[in-house]
Every structure is written in structure tokens, then in C-alpha cells.
Chain A
């Protein structure tokens, strides 16, 4: 972890210490790692991390692929294809993520006559919601590439797919990497919403512990720190990738 992130983490820790100095009635015993009970509670809280990561990573992979497939038609000169892109982006972007999660989990199975697990309902809802944004990011990135690159590709006889794969996308992805990093961070945070349909991820675990321990302040503070650490790691990863690709 680099220096900047260390500073951020220290600031966050300082902030938490400051909170403990407030007149609030703190009861850190619920998550005290020196007691068996605290240990059990901490383990319980951290056990949600697997689903938070699995959910976010699966959803972002799907949404990047769907986003790219939705973006490409927008770059053609065919009005029907451009229309498809506009309708998809406008419709999907207009649905609040929480509503999308509820609709996919409770509505869609009834519509299609299928059953769906909480995990896949969460993945589909998050991926779908995010794909509209990914599509716009890809469109902007691809459109920022000079048309001379397409023309040069044409003169060395590259097909459309080879031009995209070897010339346009590698350059576009470098440019949109900060925006893609943003979406991954956003995805990690939005995965907390899937707790409402019972996904056993970080937020759900915290909610359940609050119900049994009745110490929301301490437990939600831990939850907050869990997301902070996760996202700082992702940020550092994205910056590392940016540096590597810019060489």
C-alpha cells in the first residue's frame, strides 16, 4: 500500500478515535478482539466479505462485457443500432438500483417462470444497472480515439474485430481506466443494497449482529471501516494498473 493510502487510513483511524472521545455511550466490548465473544462477533462481521467481493467482481465483469456490447452499436452509422443503444442506456439508467434488485428477485422469476438464487439475482441486478454506465464510458473512450487509427488499420487490412481488439480498445481502455475504477468502487458500495433480499454479505451480517447485540454504533462503525479498507485496496490496484499501462 502506498504512502497516500496509508495517510488516508490513518486519518480514518484518527476520526474513529475522535468519535470515541465524543460523549456518546461507546461499548467496544461487542467487538473486543481480546474476549472470546468479541472474537466471535468480529469473525461473524468479517465473514460477509466473501459474498461482497464475489458479488461485486462477478457483477463488474458481466457489466463491462454487456456495457461494451451495448456501446459498440452506438458507434455504427446504422440508425436501428444507435437507437438500440439509446433505448437501453436511457431505460436501464432510469431504474434505481434498489428497485432493480427487488424487481429481479421478486418480479423476474414470476415473469419468466424460473427460480433464482439471491446471489444471482444480486449479480444480475447490479450488472444490469451498471452496464448502462459502462456503455457510456466505453462509448466516450472509443469516440475519443482519432479516426486516423481506423484509417491506418484499414490500410493494413485489419478486420473490424481486429481493429477493435488490437488498435482501438487497448487505447480506449487506457483512457477510461480511471472511470472503470470508479465503477468498481461504486459496485462494491452498491453491493450492500443486496442485503435487503437476504444476501449474506458485509452489510447483512452487520444488520444481523445489531439485532442480537443491540450495539449499532460500534458494529456499523466496523462495517464502515470494512468498506473503507476494501475500497482503498481497489483504488491502489487501479492506480497501479494505470501506472503500468501508461509506461
Chain B
């Protein structure tokens, strides 16, 4: 043992040869990836390429069929311990927001902390207001989701996830369901979150956002990671032809 051996940093998310099938369709084909604490990863690729399935496997909204996934050292095997690890570590924001329509904005935010973290109502309210201020809509706390614009709803959804104080945030096409004029208000919140040091894995086609915050870019096609590189290399000289074609199609001329 030498004294100069580098400290081994355990990845916060580790996927090894992960496969996922929907019937006969293979959505993920032996995908492997390590993500370290504080890393910002942007995943892109054509529809049906397995991007969403990839991040949905990380919090087990989809159970993987082969390979292994580790979150903060806990292997996801369907046990109580692995479920707790997901609940303690992973937050998620959906394309369709998935707010609870029958609850006020404040109740949307506090239900998780009160029921699963056993937090008192007043502490949870304080926490929720803190995060609503962070996404810049504290004045909407008493309203119901349907009374808000899409952009506001998505910011509430982000605040709801943050109230669970996760270590890793997953974003599944968070701006794809929004009208164009509302995209930036959501991206601004995400940029701020990235700058605060949150570990983020974002499935998105917002390449401006990717250029700004990503440490690592991933391009997926047919359930495989085709390209994985830092953003400079990714946007200037990607190795794979498919990735080049894809970037040409989605980047503005």
C-alpha cells in the first residue's frame, strides 16, 4: 500500500450492465454508468432510446431485469432497505408535473415530509415556504395546482421534490410539456439548483441548458449509451456518427 494512493470516491449512483425489457422490447441493453456526488449529467437521444427508462430505473419506477444498480452504496434489490435508500436519496421531476390536484400547493409540498419524515406540520410548512421561495412562487402556496400556469406547476413539482431533501435529482423531460414562454422560468430554477451542487441527472433536449450546467453528456440510442463524454468534447467532436447526426438535427442552425 502506498501512501499516495488516491482516495477512492464511491459513486453515488452506479449502474452495471442494466437491462430492461417491456415484453419482447428491450428498452435498456446492458447499460453501465457511474455518477459521482455533485455531478450534473444530461441525457439526450431520440424518442424510444431508453433515456426515461434509464432514470426511472434509478428510483425503481421501473424494475430492471438484469444487471445491478447501487444508490449511495445500497444495491437496489426490491428490499425494504433499498426502498428506503431510494426514498432518502432520490427526488424526481416529471414531464407531466404529477402534482396532487386535490391538494393545495403547500399540502403538495408538506405531505411527504409530514407522513414519511414524521416532521411536525409547522416545521414542514416552514420547509415548504423556504423551497417555494427558492422556486420564486411563495405567493401561490394556498392555491391549487390547476390554478397555476404550466411553468409554475413544474416549479412547484421541483420544490415538492426538494422538500424531501434528496441527494440526487432526476428530471424526466421537465420542460417538454410546457409552452415555449414558460420553459426558461423552469430552466432558471434548474440552473440554480445545479449551481448549488446538487447531483442531477436530466433527460432533456434543452441543449442551451446542457451547455450551461452539464459535466457529463450522454447520448442514448436503442437502449444503449452510444456516447458519454464531457460537454466540450460532446458538442464539438463526438465520437459516434449517430450522435453527430442527432446533434445536427436538434441544434439551432
Contacts and interface: CB of A to CB of B under 8 A. Distances in A.
A156 B102 contact: no
Contacts of A159: 115-116
Given A151-B61, A166-B111, A156 B116 contact: yes
A149 B116 contact: no
User: Could you say which of A151, A155, A170 has the most chain B C-beta atoms within 10 Å of its C-beta?
Assistant: A155
B240 interface: no
B160 interface: yes
Contacts of B91: 155
A166 B115 contact: yes
Nearest to A245: B102
A108 interface: no
Given A162-B115, A166-B111, A166-B115, A155 B100 contact: no
B73 interface: no
Contacts, number: 54
B46 interface: no
Contacts of A167: 100
A243 to B, nearest CB: 15
Contact of B99 (A152, A157, A162): A152
Nearest to A167: B100
Interface residues of B, number: 25
B75 interface: no
A174 B164 CA distance: 28
Interface string B45-57: 0000000000000
Nearest to B166: A155
A154 B88 CA distance: 11
B59 interface: yes
A34 B244 CA distance: 96
Contact of B90 (A151, A155, A162, A171): A155
Contact of A151 (B94, B103, B163): B94
B99 A174 contact: no
Contact of A148 (B96, B102, B116, B164): B96
A92 interface: no
A159 B118 CA distance: 13
Given A162-B115, A162-B116, A166-B115, A157 B98 contact: no
B100 A152 contact: yes
Contacts of B87: 157
Interface string A145-180: 010110110111111001000110011001000000
A36 B74 CA distance: 83
Given A154-B61, A155-B91, A156-B111, 16 more contacts: A148-B96, A149-B100, A151-B98, A154-B59, A155-B90, A156-B116, A157-B87, A157-B88, A157-B112, A157-B116, A158-B111, A158-B116, A159-B115, A159-B116, A171-B101, A171-B102
